[in-house]
């Protein structure tokens, strides 16, 4: 008799849990609130708010919050990438300016060296302008 009762109970419970006949998770949250705090008003408000959010958005409150957090995270990544891009451009510009200065200095040194070589070949070292 007990085995038969357990088997019937298991079939009924599996029907509720596996077929989605009752949105069990929408009852679990408020029922846990009632059990832990004893505040029925708080639990009923939580249930009503969750149902209203689900009606308005088509998503439960957890999915809605997750989606909002993902958007905020993506916005932070975009802002970080734009900051990285600006920093990279700034560094590239500074490198170009520094290379140009170094090239100018090297060119001046090369010109002075060429002048000295030409003077020595033409024996103009003793003559000043």
Which pair of tokens denotes residue 88? Answer: 């990279």
Rounded Cα distance between 57 and 54, Å, is 5
Every domain of the chain and the residues it spans? 1-58, 75-129
CA 25/CA 43 separation, integer angstroms: 13
- Let me know: does 43 contact 34? Beta carbons within 8 Å: yes
- Output the pTM of the full model: 0.33
Give residue-wise pLDDT tens across range 69-107: 888 888 887 777 777 788 888 889 999 998 888 888 888
């Amino acid at each position: 008799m007990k085995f038969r009762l357990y088997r019937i109970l298991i079939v009924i419970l599996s029907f509720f849990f596996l077929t989605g006949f009752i949105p069990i998770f929408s009852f679990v949250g408020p029922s846990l609130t009632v059990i832990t705090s004893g505040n029925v008003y708080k639990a009923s408000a939580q249930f009503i708010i969750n149902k209203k959010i689900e009606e308005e958005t088509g998503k439960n409150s957890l999915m809605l919050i997750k989606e909002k957090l993902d958007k905020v995270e993506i916005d932070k990544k975009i802002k970080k990438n734009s900051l990285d891009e600006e920093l990279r451009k700034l560094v590239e510009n500074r490198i170009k300016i520094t290379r140009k200065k170094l090239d100018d200095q090297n060119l001046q040194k090369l010109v002075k060296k060429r002048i000295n070589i030409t003077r020595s070949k033409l024996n103009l070292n003793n003559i000043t302008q």
